[in-house]
Amino acid sequence: MLVTLILSFGLGPESVYAQVDTSFSPANTGTPEKVKVNNIFIIGNEKTKKSIILRELDFTTDYYYDWDTFIEIIQADQKKIYNLRLFTEVEITPLLTGEDEAEVVITVKERWYILPSIIFQLADRNFAEWWTNQGRDFSRVNFGMRLSHNNVAGRNEKLKFAGQLGFTKALDIQYSKPYIDKKQKHGLAAQFTFYNNKTLAIKSENNRQVFYTSPEENVLRKNIAAAIRYTYRRSFYNFHFVTLAFNHTWINPSVLEENPNYFQHGSNTLRYLYLTYTFRHDRRDNVAYATDGELLVLSATKYGVFYTKELDEIEVNLTANKYFKINDKFHFNTGLTANWFLSENQPYTLVRGIGYNPNFIRGYELNVIEGQQLYVHKNSFRWKFFDYDFDISRTVPLDQFSTIPVRLYLSANFDHGFVKDRNEIPANARLTNKYLFGYGLGIDLVGFYDAVLRFEYSLNNTGGGNFFFNFKTPF
């Protein structure tokens, strides 16, 4: 009966970006000034629990809403449900059943939650670093297996396991449960990581990383880390995170012979607890490739808790991005990132700067500009010139893979920033403590399961220019 009712209104599933049917707009006769929702129906959630979807709704039953406000709430709730990254399609449809009453139907199309995949990725900071600075060396490739279960018991729990060989041998296990209480406000996550390297970046010179391999090809670094994170989500868009973690790093003594400042306490082991508080306000329309909304992230980390003999440091980070949707074809994004260390010197394992993700300036992908303070302001004006969903259901009968969405954007980019190096290291003086900017054009491809590929040609204010290829959205 419910399906028949939907069809009688001429409604069908649309993508998350679709607007709510305008036949319910107050501009048309027959739409009420206010409306009360009697029932909420959910269709398509074969595994996902209803409570996970209902948690994202900003409306409830048996309450009267102004019609215009109600439509705005529905549109925002569609985006929130989609950003759970549990569904490939989300639609919320109001069905008028009386003069001021409605039923609401939420239609979702679930993703494939168990995703085994092959790890084959570059160990370097980006593709340009590997292609140009490292001479396309295939020994600098990581390979292995990754298994992700993104909805373990239907409550958006995530379990991830990765075993990796190649340039960096690693083992990574993660588990997160977004809600551990009935009111769905508190969550927990845990992670264990182990990795080692035989080739290691030990410093930078001329704003390029310097790598070292021992003549005997010994292991140069071993790292073990474990963390537990508490999450508090009181409202829809605001998140609070508290992370307590332990890190143990061992390096081969030959590393200290090459760079005595790699560690700063006279030993080849570094052990510390660290505590991080993070506030996150996230109101983006699509977390993988945003075209509307805003993102604000503030974090503070204390390295060295209780025991500060080997490390005693404080780090503060800021990310503030704004996404302006001009219309369906054009949008403008602008974002500021900043990072501060309070001390003048850090172990090289904690060194930050432009060139390390996510702090980069397009046009400087081949460089690292290291210091204790950095500021980066990124800007992109984008035009969507292609948008099509390819139907492959005849070839692939699985519903989760029956369509391949492809969206192409032409982007015009301008980034600028500054790194403050209090030590003023002469070997890196060309780019530190100087205003830097880069600009260029690019094509962004957004595809299956929100995968992003970027092809860009960028120039910088030192006269350099190059073609760059990346796998993630810049901000």
Residue 122: per-residue pLDDT = 76
pLDDT at 426 over 60: yes
Output the average pLDDT for the chain.
88
pLDDT at 22 over 80: no
The CATH-assigned architecture of domain 114-470 is Beta Barrel (2.40)
The CATH code that applies to domain 2-109 is 3.10.20.310
Burial-class residue 211 by CB neighbours within 10 Å (0-12, 13-18, 19+).
middle
Structure pTM? 0.84
> What's the whole-number mean pLDDT along residues 172-176?
96
On whether the CB atoms of residues 409 and 430 are closer than 8 A, the answer is no
Residue 165: per-residue pLDDT = 85
Tell me the Cα Rg of the chain.
25
Helix runs in 127-284, H state only: 127-128, 253-258
Q: What are the residues whose beta carbons fall under 8 Å from the beta carbon of 413, sequence distance 6 or more? A: 362, 378, 379, 380, 438, 439, 440, 441, 442, 456, 458, 474
Which of 29-38, 96-105, 243-252 shows the lowest per-residue confidence on average (mean pLDDT)?
A: 29-38
Tell me the C-alpha distance between 422 and 232, whole Å.
Answer: 37
pLDDT digit string, tens, across residues 95-149: 998 889 999 999 999 998 887 878 777 777 777 777 777 777 777 777 888 899 9
> What's the whole-number mean pLDDT along residues 5-12?
36
Q: What is the band of 28 on the pLDDT scale with cuts at 50, 70, 90?
A: very low
pLDDT at 5 over 50: no
Residue 30: per-residue pLDDT = 63
What does the block give as tokens for 57? 């709704």
Residue extent(s) of CATH 2.40.160.50 domains in the chain: 114-470
Residue 199's DSSP bridge partners are 213
